[in-house]
């Protein structure tokens, strides 16, 4: 690793936080040649962001580690709103479900970032040779604009410097003014057993310390945080406003007689301020408290002086707000104080070669538990697109959809955070005549509305080459499946495997492996008219130049680029998979017929009836065809009889793999 | 490790198959000083036993690895019965659910023994320093009978010889007569990533090879298989009969047009014999086929010549039975041929110091998927008892219940296997007049009945010092909770945590950590009359000499020996945990109040209503108290008002930990 001859890599990721790791996981699953570097010497072990939306859990599950987060996390079921009564004493005024019932098979949970990084790292190690290279700092970046449209070129040149262990250890000691020795960043009192390997690796950094190397890359991701070096090199900026609010955050094992300490609570006191309670794993509770600048440092304006804040200041504020209940602690896990701006990046990519994601393109307050989720979902949106382009399966046109789709989400996030923070920071209204105070009815409504946004399920991507909504040359027929909504993620109900009667949540079949899915809903195939349509579709799919064959490389498995899944609505016992044409249950010389492609909407023995056709409002005597993106978002809904439009959809951006032919 | 000075250990386990590992897991969880040795150099990696009853999954879940088995296994949902029609062609005659709906939150699954051993090994490593010592052979065993009643003595002396790698590698090459090179035992083509460490360890055996040591133990377990060395040393025998039947077993990835190949099937042909189909993980299917001795080796009588059998013989037999469907394979994972006796041990223990478990005390056919389950459940029954005695919490009287409880189960197993094998081996009756043939109606009924036994849920232990059924000095009142049955395992429904509204399956609260549980069902505590009883019970429990205090060692956590759990039936929102006396939600100086002891039978936001009181038929205006053993079996049901009987129950076998006092 000298500094002389450059090495090539298809994708270089800068930053191994959740956004960078999500990208690396996609590339690992898709078999792409990639590197991921981070200037810190170790992953984080506690503290930091920790809310997980139900959509994020669905995504984790698509990478096979949803259950790890689900088992280790604290589940939040209910939000309790506490407000002053007419005597000024706080009372529980409302209970709201934390996750809106029915929107997902998961509910919002809390687990600290260190564990989530561990899941990603294990997933990457399980399927690839990609390893996070820690203590590595990029020092120079060049993009050769003359090469950006050449799909085989390496237009990006990056210099990387390998740090010593000392340089790579962030200085995150306490900022407290009173000399208290609790650290507010990486401290290791509660290391998980599977993290010890990390520490051993960190101590090996010095072997390569102070060497430099040059890397040439086809694509690059800057997931390097709010102070992104990659963003600075590109000359891109964030737009928005900073706030005066300083927030204190305290992670403690509380000793308290407050009865809702294991609920998520928003507590507004009459005149001592507000606290947000977030119950966490391992008996911990997080308290968020707004500490106004004027109260604590004399209001020097602009960026406030956070050095006056320490755990004592925060707990004392909590005690005032939560009186007459008592709260104290003997175990302190982590604390911090922050002041944050609400800003969005002007551009999310340079020539669709260098991309920015996560805090590098949106910063905001952490209270709604959104930041880590939206950051991971940025690269969940991007990863499969880059992978498919690098692998030569798709042309570069799909890369433009990253900024189109994610910048809008970032803007919605900032608006949500702005509204939510203002409401939360406000003083409760004393009565209906108190116009400066915040009406608790308004607050509750905002919370309920916010919950839908905060679940991550409401994401609705715009029309593009990969979302055949109105305005695109490819036309969908949304009315054939009104509840499988174009641009939104595929909803899930239980279906049964035709071959073995096992119930699966439909989403469980949509693993994140880079594949597109064509979902055929043929309706009631015990009706001859429907089975006839299935036979016709089977014929078209079996042709040598069908989209199933044309876009799949020679020698690759039949379902490795586009996977055909079927859920029919005839009684399970009325058919077998051999009643369907072979295209629906392909044959392999070694493994025989594929028993895992045909499903049925029917009663299970132990887990009820998913009612897919009724839930999605699909007519059993019409049926439909749905195209599902590799990230589970819906591209297209159309008639069962219309093979041509499905073929046409893929033809607009996929690259034919048949020798001598191209689109 | 010379052969001179003996080392002491509390418990020595011989045999690291599923029964031995279950024992080691209990001892690890309970913090007991134990060693486990096995003569083989590595664990098994494929083949061998593989059905997991729903009760076994409940047990795995109590050790925190139920989800690993559930995720990796193949789930079996339906049994299909295939029989000849009047033209002699096989037809599907019936479908039966594989697991009776409603009996458990799990259903029967299939996963090979190598993975199950891996889960045990990981669980043991996660909580203790106990490691399986492989390549270690016991050579001499002495039991000093004069010391067996002295609770502090080490009456057992064992000589252990450490083998070389060569000696420790079992010779399990193919027994095939045609020179085919497929191995039928441990072969490593499909090693899991987390098993590679095992192979590395095996290669280190030679460091200690040929040394010998002497171990003195308080207790010992022989879980060393059908040819148990420990059993032989004790002079104990198995009683029962051997059979003439030879069975061939083949694990393949089938290439077949038989439509039910992913179902569990019993296929009876008109005159070509029977095959049992067991669909497995990784696309594998196991075929069990009876190959009668007369057909294949000329009927030499007694133990048959298995050397004539090979995979070709087995698949050809399957092809004849399954015609007109075709079946072949390109991938063969494992195969074997066996002839087995149905026998039960006369004694399960010597002086309640040396115990036998698993195949060492019961052998039978593997077809019903029972052997591994019953073996693990032997030591699931034994482990906590030995742990509690070794730790000085319980007197030796509870050890007698092992043979009482498990020998009866072994006998039931043999009866079940006998009946089941005979039915399965028989020729189908041609019509109602054909008295020698097996009526398929009889066969179906036997299957359905057998399913309840085969689930493991039907286990019902007899009256003893730890099961207060009729005839015991402690009297239960079964009528207060008719569906929480004395002697059977605690059934499970969902309840909500009072403090955070999270739904839990009640069984999830009953982790295997050696603790007894007292479950208080106080009924509707929003009624003053019920709350009054709760207050009175709280007073008794808080006394310095209550059973909660008396049997818990000084300095140990309040719930480490007997844990108090409560499920009330008032509306969740009508109370908080602070409405209950402190005994129900104890206080700790570091952690504050315990929020995880009080639950409620109420509607959840996302997972329905468990209806515990209705399901178990507990009167909301009476309530009851239930004592649950550390292995989830029910000891006692009695009135809410009767503190004294509960105290009396524990007093009969538990050892007071209060200084200067004893029972």
Give Cα B240 distance to the centre of its chain.
23
- Per-residue pLDDT tens over the stretch B551-565: 999 999 999 999 999
Nearest CA to CA, how far is A378 from chain B (Å)? 28
Q: Is B245 a catalytic residue?
A: no
**Position A198 pLDDT exceeds 70:** no
Candidates A146, A145, A147, A356; CA nearest to A233 is A356
Q: Note whether B48 and B112 are within 8 A (CB).
A: yes
**Position A320 pLDDT exceeds 80:** yes
Task: Look over chain A and give the mean of its residue pLDDT values, rounded to a whole number.
Answer: 89
Look at residue A518 in the predicted model and tell me its pLDDT. Answer: 98
**Position B623 pLDDT exceeds 80:** yes
Q: Which of residues 317-356 of B touch A (CB under 8 A)?
A: 330-331
- Positive or negative, the CA dihedral A57, A63, A67, A68 is negative
Candidates B296, B339, B340; CA nearest to B314 is B296
Q: Tell me which DSSP letter residue A488 carries.
A: S
Task: Look over chain B and give the mean of its residue pLDDT values, rounded to a whole number.
Answer: 89
Look at residue B45 in the predicted model and tell me its pLDDT. Answer: 60
- Per-residue pLDDT tens over the stretch B50-76: 789 999 999 999 999 999 999 999 999
* Cα–Cα dist A254/A444, whole Å: 26
Low-confidence winner among A20-29, A360-369, B179-188, B353-362 (lowest mean pLDDT): B179-188
- Per-residue pLDDT tens over the stretch A447-471: 777 888 889 999 999 999 999 999 9
3-state secondary structure of B504: strand
- Per-residue pLDDT tens over the stretch A299-316: 344 444 667 789 999 999
List B154, B219, B245, B288, catalytic entry: B288
Candidates B340, B364, B365, B345; CA nearest to B356 is B345
**Position A323 pLDDT exceeds 90:** yes
Give Cα B275 distance to the centre of its chain.
27
**What tokens appear for A356 in the block?**
């920015």
Look at residue B39 in the predicted model and tell me its pLDDT. Answer: 92
**Position A446 pLDDT exceeds 90:** no
Look at residue B367 in the predicted model and tell me its pLDDT. Answer: 64
Q: Which of B107, B262, B578 sits opposite A257 (nearest CB)?
A: B578
Candidates A373, A385, A291, A296; CA nearest to A335 is A291
As beta bridge partners, residue A256 has: A327
Delineate the domains of chain A, giving CATH numbers in brackets.
Answer: 7-74+107-236+343-407 (3.50.50.60), 478-651 (3.40.30.20)
3-state secondary structure of A328: strand
Q: Is B103 on the interface with A (CB under 8 A)?
A: no
Give Cα B231 distance to the centre of its chain.
21
**Position B661 pLDDT exceeds 70:** no
State the SS3 of A599-646.
EECCECCCCCECCHHHHCCCCCCCCEEEEECCCCEEEEEECCCCHHHH
Q: Which of A107, A253, A573 sits opposite B591 (nearest CB)?
A: A253
Are B605 and A97 in contact (CB < 8 Å)?
A: yes
Q: What is the DSSP secondary-structure string of B99-128?
A: S-TTS-SS--EE--HHHHHHHHHHHHHHH-
Q: Between B462 and A661, name the one with better pLDDT.
A: B462
For residue A501, the chain B residues in CB contact (below 8 A) are: 77-78, 263
User: Least CA distance to B504: which residue of chain A?
Assistant: A75
**Position B189 pLDDT exceeds 60:** no
* Cα–Cα dist B191/B17, whole Å: 18
* Cα–Cα dist A384/B254, whole Å: 34
Q: Between B396 and B180, name the one with better pLDDT.
A: B396
Could you give the dihedral angle defined by the CA atoms of residues B569, B571, B572 and B578, in that order, rounded to the nearest 10 degrees?
-80
- Per-residue pLDDT tens over the stretch A206-224: 677 788 999 999 999 999 9
Are B330 and A590 in contact (CB < 8 Å)?
A: yes
Q: Is B606 on the interface with A (CB under 8 A)?
A: yes
Q: Note whether B245 and B420 are within 8 A (CB).
A: no
Low-confidence winner among A36-45, A73-82, B138-147, B348-357 (lowest mean pLDDT): A36-45
A–B: how many Cβ contacts below 8 A?
A: 111
Candidates B520, B493, B501; CA nearest to B596 is B501
3-state secondary structure of A498: coil
Nearest CA to CA, how far is A349 from chain B (Å)? 38
Element (H, E) at A420: helix A401-425
Give the Cα-Cα-Cα angle B552, B7, B147 (nearest 5 degrees).
Answer: 65
CA distances (Å), A403 to each of A13, A355, A356, A400, B4, in order?
A: 18, 9, 9, 6, 75
Q: Which of A75, A260, A500 sits opposite B263 (nearest CB)?
A: A500
Q: Note whether A76 and A261 are within 8 A (CB).
A: no
Look at residue B41 in the predicted model and tell me its pLDDT. Answer: 80
Question: Residues of chain A with pLDDT > 70: what percent?
Answer: 89
As beta bridge partners, residue B563 has: B517
List B366, B491, B503, B630, catalytic entry: B366
3-state secondary structure of A574: helix
**Position B26 pLDDT exceeds 50:** yes
- Per-residue pLDDT tens over the stretch A550-593: 999 999 999 999 999 999 999 999 999 999 999 999 999 999 99
For residue B77, the chain A residues in CB contact (below 8 A) are: 500-503, 604-606
**What tokens appear for B438 in the block?**
């097996």
Q: Is B366 a catalytic residue?
A: yes
For residue B572, the chain A residues in CB contact (below 8 A) are: none
For residue B499, the chain A residues in CB contact (below 8 A) are: 259, 261-263
Mean pLDDT value of segment A389-400: 98
**Position B456 pLDDT exceeds 80:** yes
Q: Is B578 on the interface with A (CB under 8 A)?
A: yes
- Per-residue pLDDT tens over the stretch A101-152: 999 999 999 998 889 999 999 999 999 999 999 999 999 999 999 999 999 9
Q: Between A646 and B2, name the one with better pLDDT.
A: A646
Q: Is A81 on the interface with B (CB under 8 A)?
A: no
């Amino acid at each position: 690793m000298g500094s002389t001859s450059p090495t090539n890599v298809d994708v270089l990721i800068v930053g191994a936080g959740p956004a960078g790791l999500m990208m690396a996981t996609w590339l690992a699953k898709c078999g792409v040649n990639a590197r991921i570097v981070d200037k810190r010497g170790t992953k984080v072990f506690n503290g930091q962001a920790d809310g997980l939306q139900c959509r994020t859990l669905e995504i984790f599950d698509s990478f096979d580690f949803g259950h790890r987060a689900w088992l280790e996390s604290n589940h939040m079921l209910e939000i309790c709103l506490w407000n002053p009564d007419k005597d000024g004493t706080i009372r529980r005024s409302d209970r709201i479900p934390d996750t809106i019932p029915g929107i997902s098979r998961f509910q919002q949970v809390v687990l600290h970032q260190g564990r989530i990084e561990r899941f990603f790292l294990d997933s990457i190690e399980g399927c690839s040779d990609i390893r996070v290279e820690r203590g590595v700092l990029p020092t120079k970046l060049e993009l050769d604009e003359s090469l950006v449209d050449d799909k085989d070129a390496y237009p990006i040149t990056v210099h990387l410097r390998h740090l010593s262990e000392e340089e790579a250890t962030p200085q995150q000691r306490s900022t407290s003014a009173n000399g208290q020795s609790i650290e507010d960043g990486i401290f290791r009192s509660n290391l998980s057993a599977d993290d010890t390997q990390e520490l051993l690796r960190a101590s090996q950094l010095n072997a390569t310390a102070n060497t430099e190397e040059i890397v040439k890359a086809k694509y690059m991701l800057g997931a390097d945080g709010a102070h992104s070096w990659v963003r600075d090199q590109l000359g891109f900026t964030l737009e928005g406003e900073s706030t005066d609010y300083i927030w204190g955050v305290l992670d403690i094992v509380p000793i308290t007689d407050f009865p809702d300490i294991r609920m998520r609570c928003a507590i507004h006191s009459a005149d001592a301020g507000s606290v947000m309670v977030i119950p966490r794993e391992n008996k911990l509770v997080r308290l968020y408290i707004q500490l106004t600048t004027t109260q604590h440092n004399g209001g020097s304006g602009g960026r406030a002086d956070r050095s006056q804040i320490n755990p004592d200041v925060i707990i004392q504020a909590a005690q005032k707000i939560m009186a007459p209940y008592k709260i104290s602690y003997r175990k302190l896990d982590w604390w911090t104080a922050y002041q944050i701006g609400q800003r969005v990046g002007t551009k999310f990519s340079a020539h669709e070669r260098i991309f920015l994601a996560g805090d590098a393109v949106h910063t905001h307050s952490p209270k709604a538990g959104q930041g880590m989720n939206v950051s991971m979902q940025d690269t969940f949106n991007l990863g499969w697109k880059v992978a498919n382009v690098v692998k030569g399966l798709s042309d570069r046109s799909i890369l433009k959809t990253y900024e189109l789709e994610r910048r809008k989400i970032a803007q919605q996030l900032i608006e949500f955070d702005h509204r939510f923070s203002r409401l939360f920071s406000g003083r409760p209204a004393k009565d209906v005549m108190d116009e400066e105070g915040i009406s608790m009815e308004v607050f509750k409504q905002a919370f309920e509305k916010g919950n839908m946004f905060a679940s991550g399920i409401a994401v609705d991507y715009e029309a593009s080459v990969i979302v055949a909504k109105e305005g695109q040359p490819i036309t969908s027929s949304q009315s054939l499946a009104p509840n499988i909504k174009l641009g939104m993620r595929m909803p899930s109900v239980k279906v049964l495997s035709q071959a073995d009667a096992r119930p699966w949540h439909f989403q469980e079949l949509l693993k994140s492996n880079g594949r597109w899915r064509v979902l055929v809903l043929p309706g009631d195939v015990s009706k001859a008219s429907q089975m006839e349509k299935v036979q016709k579709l089977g014929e078209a799919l079996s042709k040598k130049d069908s989209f199933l064959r044309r876009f799949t490389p020679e020698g690759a498995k039949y379902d490795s680029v586009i996977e055909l899944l079927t859920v029919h609505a005839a009684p399970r016992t009325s058919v077998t998979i051999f009643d369907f044409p072979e295209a629906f249950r392909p044959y392999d010389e070694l493994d025989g017929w594929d028993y895992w492609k045909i499903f049925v909407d029917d009663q299970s023995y132990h887990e009820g009836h998913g009612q897919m056709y009724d839930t999605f409002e699909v007519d059993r005597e019409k049926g439909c065809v749905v195209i599902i993106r590799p990230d589970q978002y819906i591209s297209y809904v159309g008639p069962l009889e219309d093979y041509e439009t499905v073929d046409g959809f893929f033809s607009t951006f996929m690259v034919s793999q048949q020798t001598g032919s191209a689109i």
